[in-house]
Amino acid sequence: MMKQKRKKKESKDAPVPKWMVTFADMMTLLLVFFVLILSFSTMEQERFRAISMALQDAFGFQMMNPLNLIPVDNPPRTENIIEPIRPEPPTTENTGAENQLDTLGNRLQTNFTDEIERGLLIVEHDEDHIIIRFPDDAAFGSASDWLEPQMVPIIQRVGDLISEFEMYVIVGGHTDNVPIHTDRYRSNWELSSARATSVAHELTWMSNLNEEYLYVVGNGDARPLDTNATPEGRSRNRRVEILLMERDITEEREVFQGIQQIPTYR
C-alpha cells in the first residue's frame, strides 16, 4: 500500500514536456500578431514590414506579406480594367425597323403623291408628330363648312390609313382674322370648329379609326401660319389640320401640349 501512494505522488510531480513550452510561445506570438492586425484598420507599409521581418526572424520562415501583392504606394491601375459591356437600346439604325410615325409618314407620302402635287393636301413630318394640312381653297367654299366633293374620298382614305396605326388624332380648324357674323356662325371660332367637325366625320365614316383618341379643336384665328396682312397670308391661314402623335410614346396630357408645339407665324 505504501508503494502505490509513492508512485502516484511521483506521477503528479512529473515535468512538462519541453516542446509544450515552445508551442505555447509560438501560439502566444501568433495571437499577438493577429490582434495587431485586427486592431489597426490601416497601417503604414514600413511599420508592417518591420513587424513582418521581426516575426520572420523569430519563427524562421518566410511569411506571406499581403503588401507584396498590392503595394500601398503603388495602387492598382484602373485604366486597363475592361468595363462590362452594356447593351444599347434598340434604334431604327441597328434594328432596321421603323417606328409607327415614320412608317405612317412614308405611306402618306407614297399613297397621296398625286394629291400632294395638286395641292389638295400637305404632309409635314418630324420626330414628334405628323401634320396633314387641307388648305381652305381646296377643301371648303367661302364661309362654309361643307367639304368640296373632291376632298371627301381623299379624307376617307386618310382616315382608313390612320386607323391602321395607334395614334392620337387631333383635328384642328383655323381661319384668318377677318371677322365673320352670319346666321350660321357668330364668329371664326364657330366656323373653325364646324370645319374641323366636318373633316372628323369623314375620317371616321368609312374607317375603323378609334374615336376614343380623336380630338376636334376650333382655333379660330389664334394660330396663324402666315401674316394676315396680305390675301396670300390669309389664304394660307385658312385650313384644317390633322395632328398625329404616336400613342405608345405620348401621354394624354402631352397631346394638348403638342398642339402648342405646332410652328405658327408670330
* More confident call, 90 vs 101: 101
Do residues 265 and 236 touch, judged by C-beta distance below 8 A? Answer: no
- For the stretch 140-164, what's the b/e string if a residue is b when 16 or more beta carbons lie within 10 angstroms of its beta carbon? beeebbebeeebeebbbbbbbbbbe
What percent of the chain is modeled with pLDDT above 90?
A: 50
The DSSP element (H or E) to which 241 belongs, if any, is strand 239-246
Averaged pLDDT of the chain: 79
d(CA 118, CA 140): 16
pLDDT digits (tens, 9 = 90+) for 139-154: 999 889 999 999 999 9
Whether residue 100 is predicted with pLDDT greater than 80 in this model: the reply is yes
The C-alpha cell at 197 is: 367637325
> According to CATH, where is 3.30.1330.60 located in the chain?
99-261
Q: Please indicate, yes or no, whether the overall pTM of this predicted structure exceeds 0.85.
A: no
pLDDT digits (tens, 9 = 90+) for 165-202: 999 999 999 999 999 988 899 999 999 999 999 999 99
Quick one: which of 218, 212, 214, 227 has its CA closest to 265?
Answer: 227
Q: What class does CATH assign to 99-261? A: alpha beta
pLDDT at 57: 67
